[in-house]
Structure 1
Amino acid sequence: MASRPWSEWSASLSHLVLGTVSLHAAVSTAQASRGAAAGFLLQALAAATTLAPGLRTDEDCLAGAWVATVIGLPLLAFDFHWMNGDCSSANLLLGGGMVLAVAGDHLGAEGRSVAGQAVVLVVAVTILIVAVFTTNTYGMWGGVMLGAAGLLSRLEEDRLLLLPKEDLCRWALAAGSWTYHQALRAQRLQWE
């Protein structure tokens, strides 16, 4: 039996961590925040499509990542904004994500890439802004980590810090999802 190269292990491990963190966050937030739970669940399902042996095709992986980005991340931001009374931004983010999800087939690969990166950065910045004004430290870190994932994906290099760029983006997204889950929890405790 031949051993798997480090890059395959790194990719599998980053998908597994992102899926586990996202699934835990979805289960933990399901009672209090259905929108955020759905966003976390979409991230977990997108990570699972790459780990499942029968579903591992490039089209399935790309479709899962696209849906998790343009619908899942706006769902996360939706609840954060909604709970803080910023309903117009919440609706705008979610509506924009839905429009992009429908228009995804009409965009080329480069268009989907740019749109996905824009969604990640817009979600990260809006979460960061709300977290700063509400002094939610976890929200600030969550916004920074989500923004870091979006910025890392824009870099031209294939490897960063001895890891493939995509794996590093998933690690940053997993860290951002965990801290964002904690931000929602802190925000919920503040309202109670």
Structure 2
Amino acid sequence: MAPKPEAEWSAALSHLVLGVVSLHAAVSTAEASRGAAAGFLLQVLAATTTLAPGLSTHEDCLAGAWVATVIGLPLLAFDFHWVNGDRSSANLLLGGGMVLAVAGGHLGPEGRSVAGQAMLLVVAVTILIVAVFTGNTYGMWGGAMLGVAGFLSRLEEDRLLLLPKEDVCRWALAVGSWAYCRALHTQRLQWE
């Protein structure tokens, strides 16, 4: 059964917005934080592989989303923790992401889904904790929106707010990425 045209447009638009927001974030953070910029670029690549017709298969899209989640998100959180002096959490997140990336081939689809959602929630919670203690409002919003995306992905419903659940999650990730980019900028201004 072919997908409905409005579902195709909704998915394409959510991928496009996430890709554009992540690309803007990567460019604006590249000079100050190469790790965060790399994390944003992984999100761009995962979002744009789905937009190119005939370029990718469903398995390729899932692999791209997996890499963006288990490596890209820890890269985003790494700099936030590192600048605030929490080097052990920064290294633990990044190391955990690398281990999950390597172990992903040995996990089934359900295992990858649970591990990816867990990584998303861990990154969101740790960003939120650091943002609360440093008073970084954008960081609080970024962590909260990443957490919302992780929470919504675990719901059983197929549609949320009249849109497919995956599209709503991508919109939440886009808002979280934008807020997190602003949080990194605010954090850099505070430490200068």
TM-score for both structures, normalised by structure 2: 0.97
Structure 1 runs of 4+ with >4 Å offset: none
2:103 paired residue number? 103
Write the distance in 1 (CA, Å) between the matches of 2:86 and 2:171: 29
Counterpart residue identity of residue 182, structure 2: Q
Alignment of 1:52-71 (within 5 A): 52-71=52-71
1:142 paired residue number? 142
Name stretches of at least 5 consecutive residues in structure 1 with no aligned partner: none
Deviations 1:96-152 (A, max 9, x none): 000000000000000000000000000000000000000000000000000000000
CA drift of 1:52 comes to: 1.1
Write the distance in 1 (CA, Å) between the matches of 2:111 and 2:138: 32
2:46 paired residue number? 46
1:32 is aligned to 2:32: yes
Write the distance in 1 (CA, Å) between the matches of 2:182 and 2:100: 28
Give the percent of matched residue pairs that are identical in Structure 1 and Structure 2: 86
CA drift of 1:50 comes to: 0.2
Give the secondary-structure state (helix, strand or coil) at the position aligned to 1:61: helix
Write the distance in 1 (CA, Å) between the matches of 2:92 and 2:44: 24
2:16 paired residue number? 16
Alignment of 1:55-94 (within 5 A): 55-94=55-94
CA drift of 1:46 comes to: 0.3
Write the distance in 2 (CA, Å) between the matches of 1:56 and 1:15: 14
Alignment of 1:144-163 (within 5 A): 144-163=144-163
Aligned length: 189
Deviations 1:55-89 (A, max 9, x none): 23101100100000000000000010001000000
CA RMSD of aligned residues (A): 0.7
Deviations 1:22-60 (A, max 9, x none): 001001100000000000000000001001123231011
Give the secondary-structure state (helix, strand or coil) at the position aligned to 1:53: coil
Write the distance in 1 (CA, Å) between the matches of 2:177 and 2:187: 15
Write the distance in 1 (CA, Å) between the matches of 2:165 and 2:105: 25
1:171 paired residue number? 171
1:120 is aligned to 2:120: yes
Counterpart residue identity of residue 99, structure 2: V
